[in-house]
Chain A
Amino acid sequence: EAGVAQSPRYKIIEKRQSVAFWCNPISGHATLYWYQQILGQGPKLLIQFQNNGVVDDSQLPKDRFSAERLKGVDSTLKIQPAKLEDSAVYLCASSLEGGASTDTQYFGPGTRLTVL
């Protein structure tokens, strides 16, 4: 079974530029998550989708971050404009259901963003 795919793996941009990340979840997984992992910390949830609807985006900085999951499969996360403090690894995860306590999240390799 293929895992969660993400691209690009690395991205370097200057502050105030825009950037977009792509995620392809495990086939059949209804729920998709985007996490931000700052160096030396655990992942922090940014947004959770159930199919193509948003379940939780309470920790997404909506003035600069946006995400979409068209057709309930692939997802993109965009930052516009980027700030220095956005430098982090952006992890995508997917799970079968999302709404059950028994659900397990599987993570992609992440995109490492460096903002100069």
Chain B
Amino acid sequence: GEDVEQSLFLSVREGDSSVINCTYTDSSSTYLYWYKQEPGAGLQLLTYIFSNMDMKQDQRLTVLLNKKDKHLSLRIADTQTGDSAIYFCAEKPGAGSYQLTFGKGTKLSVIP
């Protein structure tokens, strides 16, 4: 099965908050990342959180980590049409290879 799982679609109205969820399986993950991919573009690093933290805030972005449940979320406050994109959750293991394992991505659509 998938190591990192995300819901595939999310639709919100402009100005509302968006919450994108992710679950992962590797309990040794050290860092968890959120990347944004706009159409025809590569992946842009949005934010990341170290596994010994439970929250990180960066302007409109809030990352929450529940390590016990292996659940990660990204909250975007005051969502704008420019936030429409695919958001990928990725985990990095704590030992051995430092490969990133990505989820399939959540497509966020912002309705004006």
Chain A positions within 8 Å of B, measured between CB atoms, are: 4, 6, 40-45, 48, 56, 91, 93, 98-110, 112
Q: Is the CB of A109 within 8 A of B42?
A: yes
Closest to B92 in A: A101
Asked if B100 and A105 sit within 8 Å, CB to CB, the answer is yes
What is the minimal beta-carbon distance from A106 to any residue of chain B, in angstroms? Answer: 7
**Contact A107–B92 (Cβ < 8 Å):** no
Cβ–Cβ < 8 Å partners of A104 in chain B: 45, 48
> A67 CB to closest chain B CB, in angstroms?
16
A to B contact number (C-beta, < 8 Å): 52
C-alpha gap A101/B35 in the complex (Å): 17
What DSSP secondary structure best describes chain A's contact surface? Answer: loop
- Bitwise, B16-32 to A at CB < 8 A (1) or not (0) is 00000000000000110
Given A42-B104, A42-B105, answer yes or no on A106-B45 (Cβ-Cβ < 8 Å): yes
Chain A residues, CB < 8 A from B104: 40-42
Q: A44-B102, A107-B45, A109-B40 are in contact. List 12 more A-B contacts (CB 8 A).
A: A41-B104, A42-B90, A42-B104, A43-B102, A100-B98, A101-B30, A101-B98, A102-B31, A106-B45, A107-B42, A108-B42, A110-B41
A105 CA / B102 CA spacing, docked (Å): 13
Q: With both chains docked as a complex, state the minimum distance between the C-beta of A95 and any C-beta of chain B, in angstroms.
A: 9
CB distance from B81 to the nearest CB of A (A): 21
Name B90's closest neighbour in chain A (CB-CB).
Answer: A42
Q: Which residues of B contact A91 (CB under 8 A)?
A: 42-43
